[in-house]
Amino acid sequence: MKLNCIVKLCLSLILVCLFTTIGFCASSYDRELIVQDKTRAMQVESVFKELMAAYEDEDARTFLDYVSDDRFRQDYITFTDALYSDFRNYEIHQVEYWIDRVVPDNVKQFLYVQWEKRYENLDDGRQTTQKGFSRFLFDEVDGDYLLIELAGNHLFGGSLQEWVEEVPPISGQEATVVAQEEGDVCDSTHLNLCDGSNCSSNGGYWDGSTCTTPPAGAPDLEFTNIFQTSMEISFQVINTGTAASVATGFSGASGEIPPLSPGQTTPLSYSTSIIAITGAPVNGQVVIDPDYFTNDSDRSNNTLNY
């Protein structure tokens, strides 16, 4: 009887030790997993911070260093084109973001982010505020976490429709994401927004690529080195003004007048026939295009009669 009690007591002690050991090992393993996942989440958040810094700096090369080209689940080339499209079409003013959560999927990590982006459309000067909720998937590549998939609202690459169509929606994303503000337009105080068609009408000076404040002087193109025979008339053009001209043309003869510095003459001579198809002499006129460069009011030096 006493022996049975001793055996039962020993068995009870063994079971208690076994369960305690198992419980300790299990909790230790759980703690190790929790620490590991927390470390991975911190790595992913750090990588995302670098991505955002590169995006705000419009530094595509640094941005793409944090994107895996071989493990990217979507079309890597399209995403690259979309990123460069953002930088060509927008001036990124500010991006604020708030990390919602990081969800582990074995080694991979899903990062959920709420964000608000302010940028300017370089075509029309409109200011835009865009809000969104997005999911970014990161995978470990050679010890570093790299971006391999995007979903939800388009924080990156939204200026390229082809990429927009490739990004899947997620639950909780914003339905309406864009709020445009009235931007500046071409006028006398915003000449940089004007083009060649409306520059001079707003008091600007078109230099061939940009509308700017008119220089102190202005270019003035005139005919020079005129030589006429019974068959044709040839000539060159000189800039007698005080500022450089832009490339322009003339009517009544073929060819284009290149940009000329003050005092510079065209390197080539232009000519036009003064004999009609019938062989009879004709009268004509060659006129230099007056847009954006001449200050000659009577146009007599800019017109060549024959």
* Domain segments of the chain as ranges: 38-181, 187-214, 215-305
Residues 252, 286: contact at Cβ < 8 Å?
Answer: yes
State the virtual CA torsion across 30, 36, 38, 43 in degrees, nearest 10.
-170
> What's the pLDDT score for residue 33?
47
pLDDT greater than 50 at residue 29: no
Q: Find out if CATH 3.30.360.10 is the number for domain 38-181.
A: no
Q: For the chain, what is the mean pLDDT? A: 81
Res. 54: pLDDT tops 90: yes
Instruction: Look up the pTM and report it.
Output: 0.51
Which whole number is the average pLDDT over 164-169?
Answer: 92
Q: What is the CB-side half-sphere exposure of residue 229 using CA atoms within 13 A? A: 6
Same CATH topology for 38-181 and 215-305? no
Q: How far is CA 299 from CA 222, 247, 283, 288, in A?
A: 9, 19, 19, 9
Tokens 């790595």 — which residue? 43
Could you give phi then psi for residue 43, rounded to 5 degrees? -65, -45
At 24 the pLDDT is 46
CATH code matching the domain that covers 215-305, chosen among 2.60.40, 3.30.1490, 2.40.50, 3.30.70:
2.60.40
Contact between 231 and 282 (Cβ < 8 Å): no
**Mean pLDDT along residues 57-80:** 95
According to DSSP, the residues that pair with 134 across neighbouring strands are 113, 152
Whether pLDDT at 260 is above 60: yes
Q: Residue 8 is which amino acid?
A: K
Residue 140 tokens, joined:
């470990």
